[in-house]
A and B are shown apart, each in its own frame.
Chain A
Amino acid sequence: MNATGKKFEAVTIKGTAGGLLCRLLDDESIEFSDVLAELSDRLSAGEKFFRKGRFSVELGNRSLEKDDFDSLLEIFNRFDISIEAIISGVQSTRSQAKLAGIPYNLPNNQNTRPALVAEGSGDKNGPRGGVHPFDTAEAYFIRRTVRSGQVIKHHTDVVVLGDVNAGAQIIAGGSVIVWGTVRGRIDAGQNGDGEGAVICALSLKPTQLGIHNVVAMGNTETLNDPEAGPEMASLQDGTIVLDSWMPRRGRLRG
């Protein structure tokens, strides 16, 4: 995602479990006005898709004065895009957001591992070249057993029609749904703002589960419990919690 190519990419837009995320490079060697110009171009290019959208905007460690911040808002306004949150590691930028009445937050990856972005799946390396907004929002559908030693990395949701065996790993930007048994490791919500990501499986017996920046070990006592049934893991108050993933039978009887 960084400026190693001849044409730098100061703006990254991608779909995440929580909506669209726009990341602006905080490299101080690139003028913010250039970043804004690129942002404007990118939004124009995908105007149909982005118009009236909702974005989280990640500004990294770039410090923004009022003028710059207003120019940023102006661009998003032009496309009727509402800003859900400003994510910044710098106090001065966050106070600009506060003044403008926009929710703000610290970057998620400051105290955890860096947000994972799928390498070689979609994005700018795709066959069509250039970033295409429709590539990024697509879920990855796997119709086979994911076996030991295999790693599936994808930047949005992942659906598996089959098992995820011990020794296999799925790393997803969004949620992971497995129509089968999970015996391996699943990391969901790895795209930076994945608190809302869930992991569902017909049978959930993982070695490890990760959601966002929390990792839980599989419970060896329940591993062989045939009664467990389909379950869903989600993040609640910083802990991974398992719930039954069954239709509510009560409704039928009522």
Chain B
Amino acid sequence: MPGKVVTITSGKGGVGKTTTTANLGTALVLQGKKVAVIDADIGLRNLDVVLGLENRIVYDLVDVVEGRAKLRQALIKDKRHPELALLPAAQTRDKNAVSPAQMADLTNQLAQDFDFVLVDSPAGIEQGFKNAIAGADLVLIVTTPEVSAVRDADRIIGLVEAAELPTPQLILNRIKPAMVRRGDMLSMDDVKDILAIDLIGIVPEDEQVVVSTNRGEAVVFDQVSKAGKAYHNIARRLLGEKVPFQVLEEPVEPPKKGFWAKLFGV
């Protein structure tokens, strides 16, 4: 049975598509799956950087499509976890170097050898996005709890539906529970209410993500990181497990003084 092609997209840039792809890919590998990740952001590649594989690129996606390299030659195996392979983007070309049909063909080929093919989509709704969703069995939309990101996510969901793909699922990224509690940030329910699609994960804001990303390691290896835990949970949900959502409470704020405490000035 061929593997599943999952595209990670968002509309707006900078909401965490690449980080999500890298961590979800790694988390799936840790679950014992064979995973290929594709960087579809031609011209602005960085999945290779996040995965720490930048210095091993010889051939890229465009080389494969244009027949200069075989798919196997271009795939980079991660030495730390050999079940993870990266197909990097070309840096010297642009989105129009590849067509949706070619992308669908490519993901289809990879799905023969891997359990999961994760496609890291570029931001935007143009050719690059169309390429990224061309071969998808499932689309995951990443958004942050900001009005502009949610608006763009809504637009993307409409386009995915118009492309007659299954209804996408949502990853709510970089949520700050304390801000939500204060009413200064859209909550999970607010976002779900607007977008009206199923949630597959909530990832809390976590400084450890920046640290890991800069080192070229996935945050899923960090045992204490809440974001890492969240990506593990998404991976398990992708595999069909029912995993409850993490309770995102952080007792950083001092507890409010109660009525009696106030009265007695305690």
Contacts and interface: CB of A to CB of B under 8 A. Distances in A.
B196 A167 contact: no
Interface in B194-212: 194, 196
Interface string A155-179: 0000000110111000000000000
17 contacts: A144-B161, A145-B196, A147-B155, A147-B157, A147-B158, A148-B151, A148-B152, A149-B155, A150-B158, A162-B196, A163-B194, A163-B196, A165-B154, A166-B151, A167-B154, A167-B155, A181-B193
A167 B11 CA distance: 14
Contacts of B154: 147-148, 165-167
A206 to B, nearest CB: 14
Contacts of A145: 196
A202 to B, nearest CB: 12
Nearest to A162: B196
A196 B154 CA distance: 32
Given A147-B157, A148-B158, A149-B155, 5 more contacts: A144-B161, A147-B154, A147-B158, A149-B158, A150-B158
A183 interface: yes
Contacts of B159: 149
Q: Is the interface of B mostly helix, strand, loop or mixed?
A: helix
A48 to B, nearest CB: 39
A148 B155 contact: yes
Interface string B168-207: 0000000000000000000000000110100000000000
Contacts of A144: 161
A223 B43 CA distance: 41
Nearest to A184: B154
A134 B131 CA distance: 42
A147 B153 CA distance: 10
A147 B151 CA distance: 9
A219 B154 CA distance: 22
Nearest to B160: A147
Residue of B158, B161, B193 with most partner-chain A CB within 10 A: B158
Q: Which of A148, A166, A181 has its CB near the most chain B CB atoms (within 10 A)?
A: A148
Contact of A183 (B155, B161, B194): B194
B171 to A, nearest CB: 18
Interface in B120-165: 151-152, 154-155, 157-159, 161
Nearest to A165: B154
The 6 closest A-B pairs by CB, nearest first: A147-B158, A148-B155, A148-B154, A149-B155, A147-B154, A145-B196
B43 to A, nearest CB: 24
Nearest to B153: A148
A215 to B, nearest CB: 21
Interface string B58-74: 00000000000000000
A220 to B, nearest CB: 13
B132 to A, nearest CB: 18
A61 B240 CA distance: 67
A145 B196 CA distance: 8
Contacts of A149: 155, 158-159
Contacts of A162: 196
Nearest to B158: A147
Contacts of B158: 147-150
A254 B155 CA distance: 48
A166 B154 CA distance: 9
Contacts of A165: 154, 194
Nearest to A149: B155
B151, B154, B196: most-surrounded residue (chain A CB, <10 A):
B154
Nearest to B11: A148
Contacts of A148: 151-152, 154-155, 158
